[in-house]
Amino acid sequence: MTTAAIDADALECIMQEPPSSSLVMEARNLNFFYGKHQSLFSVSLPVQRNAITALIGPSGCGKSTLLRVLNRIYALYPGQHCTGRVVLNGEDVLHEQKRLRWLRKRVSLAVETQTGPDPIEHDQALRAGTDLARLRARVGMVFQKPTPFPMSIYDNIAFGVRIYHRKTKAEMDVIVEKSLRRAALWDEVKDKLHAPGLGLSGGQQQRLCVARGIAVEPEILLLDEPASALDPVSTAKLEATLLELKKEFTIVIVTHNLQQAARIADYTGFMYLGRMVEFGPTNGLFMNPQLQQTRDYVTGRFG
Amino acid sequence: MQVHELRRKIVDRLFTIACFGATVLALVALVFILWSLVIQGIGSLDLHVFTQSTPAPGSQGGLLNAIVGSLMMCMLAMIIALGIGILAGTWLAEYGGRTPYGAVVRFMNDVLLSAPSILVGLFIYELLVRPFHGFSGYAGAVALAFLATPIVTRTTEDILNLQPHTLREAGIALGTPQWRVIRQILWRAATAGLVTGGLLGFARISGETAPLLFTALNNQFFSLDMGHPTASLPAVIFQYALSAYDDWRRLAWAGSLIIAVVVLSISIIGRFMTREKFKP
Amino acid sequence: MLDVSEVTGGGIMPPPTLHQGEPAAIPHAKGAWFDPVFEGLCFGAATLLLASLSGLVISLAIGGWPALSHFGLSFFTSTTWNPVDDVYGAAGPIVGTILTAFVALAIALPLAIGIAVYLVEFCPRMLARSVSIAVELLAGIPSIVYGMWGLFVFAPLFAKYVQMPLIMHAAPGSLAEKLFAGVPNGANIVTASIILAIMILPYMATVLRELLLTVPPQVREAAYGLGCTPFEVVTSVIVPYVRRELVGVVMLGLGRALGETMAVTFVIGNAHGFPKSLFASGSTLASTIANEFTEATGELHTSALIALGLVLFMITFSVLALARALLSTKKV
């Protein structure tokens, strides 16, 4: 177990990281800007394979922002940019390499990885279509509000797969069933695969979104407060699903529900005011928080 | 103090009565118009209207060629308007709507929305009639498309902006190319709104007269050839109403009734389609 | 090329064999190449919209130029409109357009405000919905229907019950006689203004009603909570709240009225020159164009008519641009 204490401005940061050989993804020293306003300060996040990593913290601490850096969905919005490093299975995905094969006439991809790019140029690079799409095929996301597409349950799941592969109907049937089983939704919808996805209940819709996300077999699945719009029963089902899923996938989940993190996460990171304050195995963080701030938050002093 | 109170009460009472009165007056006037329309129109409406073409004065006839001509031109106009309008509305909502150029486009679209339709007729005359030395149904259709496109653009932009942004993000998060997010997710989710935009546009142009006067002109006979002057209901009504012949005038009423019924039905259908969706 | 060992100084599991420039195991998204094409198409459509409006103005300017250059400024001040002598002056139609539009607005606006206020403040909820929908539907009725009604129903009634009595009871030589002079057939500028007013009434009422509905309920409740009567709430709180947009809506209605063709052409009488009395016939820019264009005698006549169109465009564009600027905060 490596321990590193990084001083970030006035706030201390304590990270108890999993062994580096077990990491699928690593974010290092991320600084995120909305225009001129900075919302992430030197944030690092190690993500262990086949484990659930939770991000907790009070509203506005930057946990959702951090999540959205990991699949670069922030690239949709001009004026938002990020410096630092995100490595997915050894490949730097935050900054594109200048690959001649992928060079498109419209967009310049030449971006420095060592020292960090000029933000404006970096944004131009981020608009590149194909490489971002590849990243997003490897990093899936489920959002706070269930967002089934306006099509049948079957098509919802098949949609992501069809972007990348050409499958026969039989192959697709198999994929759809597998995804729905993994998301613990199969039994509930197997008779109505061609009914509209919007006709399901909230909890079912969210599990549909999970199934949709895992159908493309991503290396990592990101979930942004997935249960906040659900009732307790649906939440419990979703959590059980995630625990099952972690055997085959790697999961990062943002949650404002401390008990949820305690229930399902292997590693937890506590964030505050745009900084990663403390990171480590969940049990340790909750039972024996090393920093005063963490202690105050997990005991409910503030939040 | 009492006097002041009383005065307030009286003023308020008068105000309430005035408002109520205004509403009643307006409704009465409008009901009167519709009633006249129905009485006059129904009296002139019979099977001939739908089966025979416009007659010479004194002989029997109907409005068949005008109805068919209007239908052809409106359909073509809507195809053009939907094609351009949906794409333009999509551009405003998804791509450049927040740039200064987008603001200019939106502003000009709104101006075109309320611009006098007769000027569109003049423009198309200069563009498509004069150079080709002839009035045509195609020119008429283009003029109508001019009037319908801003409506389609506006409703498309509005309905796309109503879609939750998480829907876009969910599509992008899967790695979907942007155009597919728009086509397969957003347009699908917004179908009712897009159809309504089309219906509203159709309702608007089906009654438009002025732009057709110098583009499609009119045609006394039945014809499916849009390359030449084409009959249309509004143009026929215009000609017949201002004439001195009784049977022509009766046909004008019949035509007005037909137009009013069509416009009202389409508006009602369009309204019905988006009723549920627009509730927050 | 990124050196894997640089990262965290340790042994991250090496990625699948990656040579520089070679695609990774995952195939790229199908159809991603179409993205810029699609964006281009959408951009093209938007630009086409812009270009067509510009084209409109340019063609009007080009078409009207011969007449404008021929008559110069007198085109705007002369009331002579004589196709036989090929002399044209736009003052008559210009005055007619502005006059009918303003009178129509003066009639329609108070009524529209009354309707909107009634529907929002006083009307019972269930009824309000139906009436509002009815008014909105009526706003969609094409102007030619109003024109027909105006010509065949309203004009005769107006002639019989308003014009005739006024003419008959006006003492010879009095001011009243001059004021009410005119052929008693109901085709005059007053009739045209009234028809125009009825025509823009549903539209204005609908838009005003939507505007009033944008006022947050808390503002309304606060006012009532203080003990204001509905009249005071409306005049002192709600109207000031939407003052800017109110002017914008009024301008929208004005813009509509200025450009209306059919509702007016049927009943305005189509006489050139200034209207000489209340019940005299007149003309508007739109009605003149509609009546004469297809039978225009000669190049100059056609050009003069197009010049009228240009003038109409200038007037309505200014009004509409101002309206949109005022309404830019609220989407109405």
User: Among partner residues A73, A133, A151, which is closest to B188 by beta-carbon distance?
Assistant: A151
Chain C nearest-CA distance from B214, in A, is 6
Q: What is the Cα–Cα distance from B209 to C146, expressed in whole angstroms?
A: 12
- Asked if B100 has any chain A CB less than 8 Å from its own CB, the reply is no
Q: Note whether B51 contacts A: Cβ–Cβ < 8 A.
A: no
The Cα of A293 is separated from the nearest Cα of chain B by a number of Å equal to 32
- Classified as helix, coil or strand, C227 is coil
In a domain, A228, yes or no: yes
CB contact set of C60 (below 8 Å; sequence gap of 6+): B119, B122, B123, C306, C309, C310, C313
The gap from C-alpha C329 to its chain's centroid, in whole angstroms, comes to: 19
**Tens digit of pLDDT for each residue in C96-126?**
899 899 999 999 999 999 999 999 888 888 8
The domain containing residue A72 runs over which residues? 25-298
Q: Give the global pTM.
A: 0.82
Q: Assess if residue C128 is contained within a domain.
A: yes
Q: Is residue C189 part of a domain?
A: yes
Query: Which pLDDT score, from 0 to 100, does residue A11 have?
Result: 60
Average pLDDT, chain A: 80
Contact B266, B199 (CB under 8 A): yes
pLDDT digits (tens, 9 = 90+) for C9-19: 333 333 333 33
Any domain includes A7:
no
- What's the CATH number where C272 sits? 1.10.3720.10
Which conformational region is residue B229 in: left (phi greater than 0), alpha (psi within -120 to 50 degrees), or beta?
A: beta
| CA dist C55 → B112, B123, B148, C257, C315 (Å) | 12, 8, 17, 24, 17
Within a domain: C194? yes
For residue C115, list chain B residues with Cβ-Cβ distance below 8 A.
19, 22-23, 26
Q: Which stretch, A135-149, B213-227, C49-63, has highest mean pLDDT?
A: C49-63
Conformational region of residue A90, where left means phi above 0, alpha means psi within -120 to 50, and beta covers everything else: left
Identify the pLDDT of residue C45: 94
Here the tokens at position A24 are 């699928």
Lowest mean pLDDT among A176-190, A240-254, C67-81, C304-318: C67-81
- Would you tell me which residues 164-193 of chain A have a C-beta closer than 8 angstroms to some C-beta of chain B? 164
- Give me the interface pTM, i.e. the ipTM: 0.87
Q: Which of the 8 DSSP states describes residue B207?
A: T
* Position C28 in a domain: no
CB distance B114–C256 less than 8 Å?
yes
Interface test with B, best of C121, C196, C262, C268 (most B CBs within 10 A): C262
Q: How far is B46 from chain C (nearest CA, A)?
A: 19
pLDDT value at position C6? 36
In a domain, C7, yes or no: no
If you write DSSP's letter for every residue of C47-71 in order, what string do you get?
A: HHHHHHHHHHHHHHHHHHHHHHHHH
**Contact check, Cβ <8 Å, A150/B189:** yes
To the nearest 5 percent, what fractions of chain B are helix, strand and coil? 75, 0, 25
C-beta separation of A4 from A15 below 8 A: yes
A261-284 residue pLDDT tens: 999 999 999 999 899 999 999 998
C285 inside domain: yes
Under an 8 A CB cutoff, do B177 and A133 touch?
yes
Q: What is the pLDDT of residues A196-238, one digit of tens each?
A: 998 999 889 999 999 998 898 888 899 999 888 888 888 898 8
Q: Say if C286 falls within a structural domain.
A: yes
Q: Do A150 and B188 touch (CB under 8 A)?
A: yes
For residue A71, being part of any structural domain is answered with yes
pLDDT band at B64 (very low <50, low <70, confident <90, very high): confident
Residues of B in contact with C331 (CB under 8 A): 158
Predicted confidence band of residue A303 (pLDDT cuts 50, 70, 90): low
Half-sphere exposure of C147 (CA within 13 A, CB side): 30
Question: Is A70 among the domain residues?
Answer: yes
Q: What is the DSSP letter of C3?
A: -
Residue B12 is nearest to which of C145, C152, C231, comparing CB atoms?
C231
CB contact under 8 A, A90 and C30: no
CA-based nearest residue to A18, from A42, A49, A54: A49
Mean pLDDT value across residues B241-268:
88
* DSSP state, residue A71: T
> What pLDDT was estimated at residue A131?
66
Number of folded domains in chain C? 1
Torsion over CA of A131, A132, A138 and A141, rounded to 10 degrees? -170
The model's pLDDT over B125-138, given as tens digits with 9 standing for 90+, comes to 988 888 888 888 89
| Spatial CA neighbour of B94 closest among A201, C187, C39, C72 | C39
Question: What CATH number does residue A146 fall under?
Answer: 3.40.50.300
The answer on pLDDT for A115 being more than 50 is: no
Q: What is the mean pLDDT of residues A228-249?
A: 89
Domain count within chain A? 1
C162 is in which domain, residue-wise?
Answer: 53-326
Distance, in angstroms, between B136 CA and closest chain A CA?
42
Residues 6+ apart with CB under 8 A from B168: A76, B181, B185, B186
**Segment A187-198 mean pLDDT:** 90
What's the pLDDT band for A101 if we cut at 50, 70, 90? very low
Question: Pseudo-torsion of CA C234, C237, C238, C240, nearest 10°?
Answer: 120
Task: Answer whether residue B59 shows pLDDT above 60.
Answer: yes
